[in-house]
Amino acid sequence: MASYSKQGQPGPSTAPELSEARANVVAALGKMERGERNSLDGLRDVLCAFVGALKAEGASRDQAIEAVRQVIAEPATAEAFRLLAPAREALIELSIYWCTEEYGAA
């Protein structure tokens, strides 16, 4: 997990909030992969919290988008085949829409 200086350079993360926020995204993504009811709403909430945590670490908007892209691209469960690459890319695009406030300040 990287943290970000004011210059946007990645470094080791010292913020447990960022690690926890990423873990929450992975857990919510797992629910999406398993097709659990209301999992999209949960994913939206934790993605915005993750972007907010990235912002608090000093990540730029582009760095935050890339961090979301990396976590969404990684399968979270054995059922990952249910969430194809185009759907994962759509989730990244949706996160930009859902988390406008967080990304704008990131």
pLDDT at 103: 86
Least confident segment among 6-15, 20-29, 73-82? 6-15
Q: What is the pTM of this model?
A: 0.83
Residue range 41-98, pLDDT digits in tens = 999 999 999 999 999 999 999 999 999 999 999 999 998 998 999 999 999 999 999 9
4: helix, strand or coil: strand
Kindly list the domain boundaries of the chain, sorted by start residue.
16-105
Bridge partners for 11 per DSSP: 3
Please compute the mean of the pLDDT values over residues 7-32 and round it to a whole number.
80
